[in-house]
Amino acid sequence: MTSFTTTRALAAVLSLATLVLSAPSARADIKDYEFRLTQSELKQGNGVIVTVQLIDRRSGKPVPDAVIIAKRLDMEPDGMAMMAAPIETSASTEPGTYRFKADLTMAGGWRLSLGAKIQGETGTLENKLTLKAVP
Ligand SMILES: [Cu+2]
């Protein structure tokens, strides 16, 4: 038999292993995406609309239909990480753009932490953005 069969079997296993191992690198990685603020300075106040774009860094194009699974707004940039502000998702106006309504209760630096799932990608995108509330 058998050295021929064994060699073929081994070759099949090896090529399968190569396929499996090389598959992830051919696809996009969650690190290829990032959120960007469309405006990093906002007027301090209640019900402020904070707008971010989700960008595919390879193409520079906006990415629609991501699901925001976590969001937090706090004053960590000004040494007040415990000072969080109410933030809720708001209706988006265009594909790839995500909007939030927030109470910027104090002038100064705010950190927007976002977690999101992207269609067709595994893992969770986690970004921290810094914005400034001006009086
Ligand atoms: Cu504060």
Domain regions of the chain by residue span: 30-134
Distance CA 39, CA 62 (A): 16
Q: What is the pLDDT of residue 28?
A: 79
CATH class of 30-134: mainly beta
Picking from 129, 130, 121, 131, the residue whose alpha carbon sits closest to that of residue 33 is: 121
Percentage of the chain modeled with pLDDT above 70: 80
Q: What's the 33 CA to ligand 1 centre distance in angstroms?
A: 30
pTM of the model: 0.79
Chain-centre distance of CA 59, in angstroms?
Answer: 15
Decide if 92 contacts 99 (C-beta within 8 A).
yes
Measured in Å, residue 80 CA sits from the centre of ligand 1 at: 6
Give me ligand 1 centre to Cα 131, in Å: 13
pLDDT of 6 reads: 62
Q: Please report the pLDDT score of residue 66 as a whole number.
A: 97
